[in-house]
Structure 1
Amino acid sequence: MGAARDLGPRILVTGFGPFPGAPVNPTEALVADLADAPPRFDIPCALRMAVLDVDYATIATQLSAIGNDFSPDIAIHFGLAAECRGFRLERVARNSHAGARPDRAGGLPASERICAGPPTLSSSLPLDAIAKALGEHDLPVEWSDDAGGYLCNTVFTLSRAGACNGLDPAMSGFVHVPMAGEGTQFRLTPAALRQGACVIVQTCLRHWASGRHAS
């Protein structure tokens, strides 16, 4: 653990496995790609990639296991929103399971409230800087104040609330992406997804190095 800290901030990047209506999740492939060929950044850091199971009953336990083992300083969570036209930067996590849909096992959350804490929590990622950096790489960006009623919003809320053991990053937030593939405006190639994820991580690293995360 000390060696990882010597490398700079610990950065957690997560995606999700399949869920009803999405037998293939591009964020799972994205995380696998980043793990297989770790990107290099101009600021030292320790990277951890993880694919989360789309399961209400175990999601907090999954995050706690990662947190206890890695204790990230920065957490960047990715998820699928098929209607996206690009990298959708989520500004607000809502501490509610209202409108929840069944998870990959058909389960639903046990309570309407996700965790202890305020009803809403704002992303602590440097979203304006991320949007600018993505635009400079000709990658499409859109904004959202509603991360939905599914596990994406659940993870966003748990991460921002510091509600899981070991997982209380100084910076965390959520980014939705469209399906991967060639063709329509609603898709990004796997290469573009990887490039965008790397731009997001690099921007967060620079923000961290500037010390602005502590303000």
Structure 2
Amino acid sequence: MPSQTFFNLPKEKQDRIMAAAREEFFTHSFDEASINRLIKAAGIPRGSFYQYFADKEDVYFYLGDQISQRMIEGARKELAACGYDPFALARKVLPQWLDEIFYGENAAFFYRKIDMLHSQQVPRPKQAEDPLACLSAQEIAGLTAKVALQDRTDLKFLLHSLLLAFISCLSEGAEDYEAGRPVDTAKLAQVLDRRLSYLENGFKKKAD
């Protein structure tokens, strides 16, 4: 996470630094990414960089957080329109995320991340994220009331399960990419819808 010194900078300077970080991590693997190139592109001294970020990992994770937060905020805007139904929200938003990851404006970042995961170069987050952390109390209450849940821990379990269904499809798309095949996000969305149905309706076969 950047220091408060970074957040005290004018927005134009923050944006310039992050644009340089975006260019560096979009075009190089994490190991190959260079702070020297980044600060040259941003037009800042090396000492200033370390006033803003602890190290290369710090700016890498912050860039990833910025991209993820834009996607999450887009999902939150759809929450009320979906009647706080987590399954309706997942069916609307998660296919869009597949398109964004494989073919959107940030696709280069995600493809670099896939390459790094495959080669085990990518740094690991220091802690797992709580899926409820980005939601307001009203949103949590709306989601909990819509489905048969007892408390927040059940909601956390459900959101983790929905994300796991998404990640399973994401992994299959990554396998196609690594094999040199085009990633068919429409087909992945169909698979995702089927897996969401398993979660919503259960795996048990209905009696004839």
**TM-score of the superposition, structure 1-length normalised?**
0.30
Decide which structure has greater helix share: 2
Q: Compare relative contact order (CA 8 Å, sep 6+) and give the higher one, 1 or 2.
A: 1
Decide which structure has greater strand share: 1
Name which one, 1 or 2, has greater alpha-carbon Rg.
2
